[in-house]
Every structure is written in structure tokens, then in C-alpha cells.
Amino acid sequence: MFWGDLLLKDRKGPEWINDAWTPSGIIHMGGLKGPVIHDVLYKILKEKGVEAKYTFGFDDMDAIDGLPQELLKSHEKFMGIPIAYAPSPDGKGTFGNYYTNMMLDLFKKLDIEAEIYLASDYYKKGIYNKAIEFVLDNADKVRKVYSDMYKKPISDSWFPLQVVCPNCGKVGTTEVTAWDRKEVSFVCKKDKVKWAQGCEFSGKISPFDGNATMPFKVEWAAKWWTFGVTIEGAGKDHASAGGTYDVARKICSDVFGKEPPLALPYEFFLYDGKKMSSSKGVGLTGEDLLDVLPPQLVRFLMIKTPPNQAVEFNPRGTLIIPQLWDDFQKASQSTEDYLQRSYKFSEVSGENIDLQVKFLTLAQWVQMPNMQDKIGREELEELARYAKVWVDKYAPESEKFEIQSKLPKEAEKLDEKQISFLRKVSIELDQNWEAEDFQTKLYEWSKEMDISSKDAFSAIYLTLIGKTSGPKAAWIILENKALSKKRFEDLGN
């Protein structure tokens, strides 16, 4: 059974699915896994006729606590300020808008049907006011959860809230010291964190209507309580034992007195065994992925494996992308429920892809100028674009080739047996051949002429593309029949 169907099998009543992301940097491809997984669950619920809602929040009230190298000079002074209030790297809008719009563009391409909200808007509109008041009134219970989970005492003077300093605008440097049920007392501490410096301003302020934000773990539970969220997953970085997901779930139950949402931890995409990270240059960004794969294949990659299994994905110099296409084609024709459902929920706006040729074949076609008409006749121009990107950026050298306009110098190394073999092939090209039959004959002729198949096929490739190996020999010869015949005939002359 497909993992999504299994997860939702025995659930009753309306569902509210939620997910969120902090818009503080480039989106690596692993950052798309959560949104796609939640979207699939939402689509399954809709298919079943269940009353369901899917919301996706951008946590733009978080403080800027790190910057990519290229922004250090221009944005270092904004460290500690909420993402929603710092200027955009391109000077248009806010820092949060800049990265939020990047993610929303990917959502549109992937047909992710979430209702979008910004944390900054919800705080300003007072949507979290009740939750803020509740956690301040029950700060002792929050402290107990932290103490129990982290096995260390939490000071009675700590409160689960940070205000936006009215003097310097920073949120990452403030500390609430008291609550009188109307206002909180706070101080903007100079040395609270290493990545930002507070202004040492202190005073009292209302914690409501956007003046403050709850810590991540508390806010997570507060959202579940405020909205009535029933399903929200978390990536392995949050969902490891004793991690933020566990803490938020315990706050939800022990402080808010509400059953936490359905637990859905999901694993990383790995790149050579390491977690993908755009900031560290490990793996691909979401834009990179959608440049080399159509949206349907991206969705398929995200959902074909159960979420709790890690997936290795390094496309550079490997055949992992052609293999993904093969798996996709297999799923499109499969009678197995799991594969059928994986294929169905790969659809984008109700449409999917039916590739009638192997992806590796298409990758070969895009490298041959004389095949452009065939690509057009087969209406493969759009998919050929992805194949071209794969060849140019990711394909191993063994899959790259170019029919040389003249005899490659590497062919000068051919011995008499190899030349005789190629002349034999040239003569046989006067007949009409099917590629598979011709491929078989190439092996037979090499055996008849007492030349190893390795040397025979190496001769073909050296003569046509200047390499010792390449795509299927019969195919490349027949698709370049006139050129191949003349070149094989002229050898040694």
C-alpha cells in the first residue's frame, strides 16, 4: 500500500495539515520534501471526500542569525532583526519576501495547493495573542517541559517569549524578565548571542499584536493549538529523539492540553552520504532540480520512497536521473498499487508525462543535430530540454558524445583488423537494417573476422566520436548512416 494511504487509513473527521519554513536562504532540494509530502496527504484526503485544509507558513518573525558569504557586508548590521523587517538582498521588499517568493515560485511549478500565511502577519493581526497570553500565564509548565526534555533546570526568571526591541528592532537579543498580565518587562542584552549585539535598552511593552514572538518550539505547539492542526510532519533535523519536534509535541500536550498532530518524521535527501545544505554547497537547490527534471519527476522523486527512508541523490557523473526516469516509466505502466499511486500523485494540475523513449535515448538524440527533426515529430522538445541540461551539467563522460565533423585523430591508432571490420560494416550498410538486428550482426561480424568485440566497437566509436566507448553502436551508425558509410570506406586511404 502507498505510504500516504496507509498513514491516513483509519483517520476520522476533518483534517488540518500544516507545514512551515523559515525564509532565510536559498532552498535546497530537500527543503521541498516536506511541502510535497504534506500536499500529497492533502490530495489523498480530498480524493476521499474528507473535509481538509492545508496551510503553509513562512516563519518570518525569526531573527536573522546567519548569512551567506555574499551578504555579510551588506546585511551584517541586520543580524538579530526579524526576517520580515530586514531589507531584501535585491533592494525590493523585505529579506523574508525575497526568499518567500523563491519558495512560492517552486510551489506553483510543483502544484502545491497550500494556503499561504506569514508569521509576521499573524502576529500583527493578533491571531497568536491568545496563545502568547496562555504561555506567559503557564510559563512554569513550559519551563518544566524544557527541564524534563533537556534534563537540566530552567530558571524561574525565564519566559517563553522574545519581544522586538522598540529601540534597535532586534528580536534575537531580547529577554523577557517579568509578566504582569498586561505587559512584559524586558531587556535587550548586549551579549545574549554570539551572532548579534543587543542595545541594552530595557522597559515594558505589550507582548501582543506583533510586538513579540514565541520561541520556535513553543510557537510550533501554539500553532497546533490555535489552528487545530491534526497533521504536521518534520524533517529529521527536528524529529530526532528529544529534538524540537518532540519538545513541541510535549508542550502541546502538557501545556496546552491538546493531543499533538499525527506524527510524521521524514528523512533527508543525502548527497554522497551527507545531508544536503545550500549554505555549505552540498547537493542541489530546488531551482537546480527543476532545471534538470520536470515538476512531475520532482514530485515522483519526493514521494516514491516512504518518507521515513533516506534517499541518496547525487546526479553529478552518475546515472541516477536516467534511473529515476526508468522508475517513473515503470510506475506509469504498473499494476502495483504503490507504484500506481506514486505516479498519480506526481501529477501537476492533473497532468502527467508519458515518455515513449528511454531518457538515455533522448539524451543521445539531443547530442545529434540530425535528430532535431525527429525530436520535433515526436513532440519531445520540452522533455529534450531537460535531457540537454542533464548532458551539459550532470551526465558522466561515458554518456557524452559528439559526431565529429571529420575523422578524429584518435582513429589514426586503428590497426588493420579494425579497419577491415569497419569496411565490412560499410558494405553492409547498403541494406536496410533495424537497430537491434544490426547490433547483433556487429557482434557476429567481429567474431567471423577474429577481432574482439571490444576492439571492434572501440573502432566504431573512435572513428565517429573520437572516444573508445559511447551509446549503442548500431543506433549511432544507423542514425548517421551516410556519414558512417563514407568514413568507414575512407579509412586507410
- Would you state the pLDDT for residue 280? 63
Q: Where among 375, 398, 421 does a domain terminate? A: 398
Name residues whose C-beta falls within 8 Å of residue 178's C-beta, 6 or more positions apart in sequence: 159, 184, 185
Residue 346 pLDDT grade (very low, low, confident, very high; cuts 50, 70, 90): very high
Do 433 and 477 lie in one domain? The reply is: yes
CA–CA separation, 478 and 357 (whole Å): 17
pLDDT of 279 > 70? The answer is: no
**475 and 431 together in one domain:** yes
Report the distance separating Cα 215 and Cα 209, nearest Å: 16
In a domain, 452, yes or no: yes
Residues 369 and 414 both lie in one domain: no
pLDDT at 156 over 90: yes
CA-to-CA distance for 97 and 93, rounded, in angstroms? Answer: 6
**327 part of a folded domain:** yes
Cell of 310: 533516506
Residue 162 lies in a domain: no
Residues 283 and 389 in one domain: yes
User: Residue 94: inside a domain, yes or no?
Assistant: no
For residues 380 and 333, state if they share a domain.
Answer: yes
- Regarding whether 375 and 286 lie in a shared domain, the answer is yes
The DSSP secondary-structure symbol of 354 reads -
Together in a domain, 391 and 463: no
Tell me how many degrees the CA angle 345-347-349 measures, rounded to the nearest 5.
125
How far is residue 273's CA from residue 270's CA, in Å, rounded to a whole number?
5
Same structural domain, 391 and 414: no
pLDDT, tens digit, 9 for 90 and up, residues 228-237: 999 999 998 8
- Whether 246 is covered by a domain: the verdict is no
pTM for the structure as a whole: 0.90
Q: Which of 376, 398, 420 is the last residue of a domain?
A: 398
The answer to whether 172 and 126 are in contact (CB under 8 A) is: no
* pLDDT per position as a tens digit, 25-41: 999 999 999 999 999 99
Same domain flag for 424 and 367? no
Residue 236 lies in a domain: no
For residue 352, being part of any structural domain is answered with yes
How far is it, in rounded angstroms, from Cα 485 to Cα 422? 9
Mean pLDDT, all residues of the chain:
95
Summarised one tens digit per residue, pLDDT across range 290-314 is 999 999 999 999 999 999 999 999 9
Domain membership flag for residue 147: no
Q: Which residues, in sequence order, are CB contacts of 286 under 8 Å at separation 6+?
A: 27, 28, 29, 31, 32, 102, 103, 106
Is 314 in the same domain as 349?
yes
Is the model's pLDDT at 370 over the cut of 70?
Answer: yes
Percent of the chain predicted with pLDDT > 70: 99
Same domain, 381 and 448: no
Distance CA 110, CA 287 (A): 11
Is the pLDDT at 48 greater than 90, yes or no? yes
Question: DSSP readout, 49-98?
Answer: T--EEEEEEE-TTSB-----GGGHHHHGGGTTSBGGGSBPTTSSSBHHHH
Per residue in 139-155, pLDDT tens?
A: 999 999 999 999 999 99
Distance CA 50, CA 439 (A): 55
Full domain range(s) for residue 440: 409-490
Q: Which of 339, 366, 398 is the last residue of a domain?
A: 398
Flag whether pLDDT at 486 surpasses 70. Answer: yes
The total domain count for the chain is: 2
Question: In the prediction, which pLDDT does 492 show?
Answer: 67
Based on the fold, state whether residues 302 and 359 are members of the same structural domain.
Answer: yes
Amino acid at site 29: M
Q: Is the pLDDT of residue 369 over 80?
A: no
Distance (Å, whole) CA 309 – CA 257: 32
